[in-house]
Amino acid sequence: MTFSLKQFSLLAYVWLALPVLLFLLNWCRPLVAIPLSIAVLASIFFAMRATGERTLTVDKKKLLAIGAILFFWVLLSGVGGLAWQNRWDHAFRNALFTDLVNHSWPVQSADATDATGTAAVRSLVYYFGFWLPPALLAKVTGSLSLGFVAQFAWAFTGVATAFGLLFFLVGRATLRAVFIFILFDGWDVFIYAILKFLDFAIVSEILPPAMVLEKSLQVFENLSNTSSLFYIYNQVVPFWVAFALLLNQRAKTALFFICALLLMFAPFPAIGMLPAAFYLALRGKTTGAASQTIPSRILANVSIPNITACGVAAVLGLFYLSNNTAAGRSILPLTGENFLKFALFVVFEFLVYLVLCKQAVKGENQGKMLAVLALPCAVLLFIQIGPLYDFAWRVVLPLAFFVMLLVIRTANELDAASIRRPRGALLVLVLCVGAVAPLLEMATSLRKTRASYFVRHGEPLRAGGIGSCFGDNPSCAYYVSQGTGGNLFDTYLRRQ
């Protein structure tokens, strides 16, 4: 079967834009929502006009095998509650989804009082874009259960779209690329062993085994693709779609439009993507003899999609800033321990792969893109927003994705004879060591899912215990803005 880049690009734009449109039309005043929604739709049209004509042919049997693997992988993640869900992240994500279904939009609650005893209106303020289409279906049908099933369908569609775009980036669809993507991770077992040997404090070992390994550095973290899907699916699936779409751009028409759409789902990874967008925006022509001046390169980015991006980013930025419970920014202490952890992070998450991908790094502009992603990331990793380290954990996603892309390109060039040679065998060994945490994560889910279905008194599939984000559970405190008013979004933009 033959697929075109235009087909996957259109699917990606629609998948990313639909939640943005739902947000604009239901959270914002018509004076803002209607023209900006029209601009988003027009931007998709112009972005598609600028998309190149590339095709990819995939054997039907291979396509079915890839589809089956991805279906089972997404199913095993617990998204939608058809398989066992991790108790921590899924519990409060399920509460957030339930609030989106049970409350009118924009989601608010007046069940609390302020210091004077007056009813205080609280608003749900979070990057909940992933759940908006499934929540709308649940609202229309009156079935929360159908909404959970729709979450699975929505996630699978996003993952399939991301892989389609990935195959265009590496030049062909291979099972090798699928397995590397699913099992790709750094050498967390080595990091864990070194920290244990140095007697450093380790994250609580009551967590699932994969999380103990992947969170051993605490302040620095690069979850495997599998763990990301199993825990932060609402951010990572849209990120995969958006970043693969961005890297497939040959024109400059929609670079910042793609980043703006991602803000609805995952603002921190969108920030990590910006250096790549700026690099592609300012890069000169790769063909032809004509050279471009810097002003002409900048002007080449003036387009309806990129102008629309400014409006979308402004509205979403003001919406997130209206959350008065998640304030606070700081720099990680520049201690010897943190610098040692940073060094371990760089060496065992990235360098162990890059030393084996020299040819891929030397490819056209690949080394430059790697530097553009890595250098800002090295600074952003030391920034802390709020009480946790989520900002640092998420801005690293574009760099990790690009390193994985280089590994897949390198692996795709290996034939049977090359794999038996030292360099090929070493790459296989490095990948196998990195696969420990993802395999542990999937093994845990398989075991728990089997127990839920077949063992009496097994854990329920769906994580519960948190009925609403508006309750008193501290896990949801940062999803809710305490009171409305006093900020630009509530004053001028929020739909009344």
For 106-154, the pLDDT digits (tens) are 998 866 555 455 566 788 999 999 999 999 999 999 999 999 999 999 9
Q: How far apart are CA 183 and CA 197, in angstroms?
A: 26
Tens-level pLDDT at each residue, the chain (496 residues)? 899 999 999 999 999 999 999 999 999 999 999 999 999 999 999 999 999 889 999 999 999 999 999 999 999 999 999 999 987 788 889 999 999 999 999 998 866 555 455 566 788 999 999 999 999 999 999 999 999 999 999 999 999 999 999 999 999 999 999 999 999 999 989 888 888 888 776 666 556 777 778 877 778 888 899 999 999 999 999 999 999 999 999 989 999 999 999 999 999 999 999 999 999 998 866 444 445 677 888 888 889 999 999 999 999 999 998 887 666 667 888 888 889 989 999 999 999 999 988 888 877 788 899 999 999 988 888 888 766 777 888 899 999 999 999 999 999 887 766 666 777 788 889 999 999 999 999 999 999 999 888 876 667 888 877 888 887 777 677 788 876 667 888 889 999 8
Query: Residue by residue, what is the 3-state secondary structure of the chain?
Result: CEEEHHHHHHHHHHHHHHHHHHHHHHHECHHHHHHHHHHHHHHHHHHHHCCCCCEEECCHHHHHHHHHHHHHHHHHHCCCCCCCCCHHHHHHHHHHHHHHHHCCCCCEEEEEECCCCCEEEEEECCCCHHHHHHHHHHHHHCCHHHHHHHHHHHHHHHHHHHHHHHHHHHCCCCHHHHHHHHHCCCCHHHHHHHHHHCCCCCCCCCCCHHHHHHCCCCCCCCCCHHHHHHHCHHHHHHHHHHHHHHHCCCCCCCHHHHHHHHCCCCHHHHHHHHHHHHHHHHCCCCCCCCCCCHHHHHHCCCCHHHHHHHHHHHHHHHHHHCCCCCCCEEECCCCHHHHHHHHHHHHHHHHHHHCCCHHHHCCCCHHHHHHHHHHHHHHHCCEEECCCCHHHHHHCHHHHHHHHHHHHHHHHCCCHHHHHCHHHHHHHHHHHHHCHHHHHHHHHHHHHHHHHHHCCCCCCCCCCCCCCCCCCCHHHHHHEECCCCCCHHHHHHECC
Contact 360, 402 (CB under 8 A): no
Domain ranges of the chain: 2-191+222-332+441-493
Pair of tokens at residue 97: 């989804």
Peptide bond into 269 cis (omega under 30): no
User: How many residues make up the chain in this entry?
Assistant: 496
CA angle (258 as vertex; 263, 173 as ends), nearest 5: 115
Looking at residue 118, its pLDDT comes to 56
Q: How far apart are CA 491 and CA 496, in angstroms?
A: 10
CA angle (231 as vertex; 230, 235 as ends), nearest 5: 105
At 411, the amino acid letter reads A
Return the closest-CA partner of residue 153 out of 80, 225, 94, 210: 80
CB neighbours of 62 closer than 8 A, spacing ≥ 6?
173, 175
**What is the phi/psi pair of residue 251, to 5°?**
-100, 165
Q: How far apart are CA 8 and CA 16, in angstroms?
A: 12
Return the closest-CA partner of residue 430 out of 311, 350, 315, 316: 350
Q: What is the largest CA-CA distance in the chain?
A: 76
Contact 174, 63 (CB under 8 A): no
Q: How far apart are CA 138 and CA 168, in angstroms?
A: 34
Contact 150, 137 (CB under 8 A): yes
